Amino acid sequence: MGSSTGHLFRVTTFGESHGRGLGAVVEGCPPGLALDLAALQADLDRRRPGQGALTTPRKERDQVQILSGLFDGRTTGTPIALLFTNEDARSKSYDTVKDLYRPGHADYTYEARYGIRDHRGGGRASARETAARVAAGGIARQWLQATYGIEVVGWVASVAHLDAKVSAETVDRKAVEHSPTRCPDPEAAAAMDALIRETRRQGDTLGGTVSAVARGVPAGWGDPVFDKLEADIAKACLSLPACKGFEIGSGFAGTLMRGSTHNDPFFHDGDRIRTKSNHAGGILGGISSGEHITIRCAFKPVSTHFQTQETVNRAGEAVEFQNEGRHDPCVLPRAVPLVEAAILLTLADHGLRAAAIR
């Protein structure tokens, strides 16, 4: 009912922002994978709150507990249960908005859907839920790397009007992690850092884009017509909190090109067929071509800002309010591992599906 994704590599997440804990159950991970727990925790540390001046000061260690599916450091092929505890929730900060519908949030729509909502930190709609996705994505990352040599790297491509100049061919994790903005372009990163800090001082928030590249994906992954590889990646990315747009390859810029220049010419390169350009973003007809898969996701400004807002309460009365609590002024730096996880989970599922059909 909306909390599970994938067919063969299947992930179900559970938990809320201010509940006792949250986690995930991963089904279908092949047996025998030597799981590097330190690397898994490193993925989680990139997502966790309290990383510095550019993120929310909420302190959560996000130390993952693996309850099942692992024996002597290797996966057994049975469900892997992952669990986190919430250690620094301050629910009282939300008492003033429990009867309001906050603009930009899921307060009204969750109540319309279920007839009840958890107002504490947004409940299930909170980005806190994504810790479980990143943990599951970390397992997918290790299996994809060990089995196919696949590498997925994401980075902040823009914040508001500031755009980075980054090559998807050469960008690496070290360059991304060099700046707290997670932008590997030093000049753009410095400008982004200054803009985020100034916007936070103003009590406001910013949006932007995250780009990512998947290298080493074999040709032949994807199931037309309704399970095209880019369609499933898009769904995974658009299911992330605050994600409002998705592009692959040339994306919307491709609408300004002509077919004679947009097509990617084929050529024979040693033992495989390649394309001279990659406007298609590594996917043709919903199936991977063997070229790098390149995507870009748009994230709206964080809905929780600290300026006065107008809304209505449950009785339909007009009210003014100001948010309280601890929130990110810009979600982009912490969204990078989320986008990577979305891609990794989709690729793991399609990798198993491709192997099963052949």
In this structure, what token pair is assigned to residue 216?
Answer: 């080493």
Band (pLDDT 50/70/90 cuts) for residue 18 is confident
- pLDDT digit string (tens) for 88-98? 666 676 778 88
From residue 125, give the alpha-carbon distance in Å to each of 15, 224, 241, 328, 354.
10, 31, 7, 15, 33
CA dihedral 253, 254, 255, 259 (to 10 degrees): 150
Q: Helix, strand, coil proportions of the chain in percent (round to 5)?
A: 35, 25, 40
From residue 354, give the alpha-carbon distance in Å to each of 222, 231, 272, 288, 296.
7, 16, 18, 11, 25
Which residues in 25-50 are b (16+ Cβ under 10 Å) and which e? bbbbbbeebebeeeebbebbebbbbe
- Of the candidates 46, 127, 93, 104, the residue with the CA atom closest to the CA atom of residue 301: 104
Band (pLDDT 50/70/90 cuts) for residue 193 is very high
Which residue type sits at 239?
Answer: S
CA–CA dist 208, 55 (Å, integer) = 15
Cis amide bond preceding 225, omega within 30: yes
Ramachandran bin of 49, using left for φ above 0, alpha for ψ from -120 to 50, beta for the remaining angles: beta
CATH number belonging to domain 4-357: 3.60.150.10
**Full-model pTM:** 0.95
CA–CA dist 329, 332 (Å, integer) = 9
With a cut of 90, say whether residue 257 has pLDDT above it.
Answer: yes
Gyration radius of the chain's alpha carbons: 21
- pLDDT digit string (tens) for 90-129? 667 677 888 899 999 999 999 999 999 887 867 788 888 9
CA–CA dist 236, 253 (Å, integer) = 22
Band (pLDDT 50/70/90 cuts) for residue 51 is low
Contact 27, 79 (CB under 8 A): yes
Average pLDDT for 12-26? 90
In this structure, what token pair is assigned to residue 180?
Answer: 């707290």
Residues 6 or more apart from 110 whose CB is under 8 A from it?
Answer: 117, 123, 124, 125
Average pLDDT for 20-34? 96
With a cut of 70, say whether residue 1 has pLDDT above it.
Answer: no
Average pLDDT for 286-295? 98
Q: What is the pLDDT of residue 328?
A: 86
Residue-range domain boundaries for the chain: 4-357
How many helices (DSSP H) and strands (DSSP E) are in the chain? Answer: 8, 18
In this structure, what token pair is assigned to residue 95?
Answer: 């008492």
CA–CA dist 55, 43 (Å, integer) = 17
Q: What is the pLDDT of residue 96?
A: 80
CA–CA dist 56, 43 (Å, integer) = 18
Residues 6 or more apart from 11 whose CB is under 8 A from it?
Answer: 4, 5, 24, 25, 26, 27, 133, 136, 345
In this structure, what token pair is assigned to residue 215?
Answer: 């290298």
Long-range contacts of 66-69 (CB under 8 A, 24+ apart): 66/37, 69/26, 69/29
Q: What is the pLDDT of residue 58?
A: 58
Residues 6 or more apart from 216 whose CB is under 8 A from it?
Answer: 148, 149, 150, 151
Q: What is the pLDDT of residue 93?
A: 67
Contact 233, 343 (CB under 8 A): yes
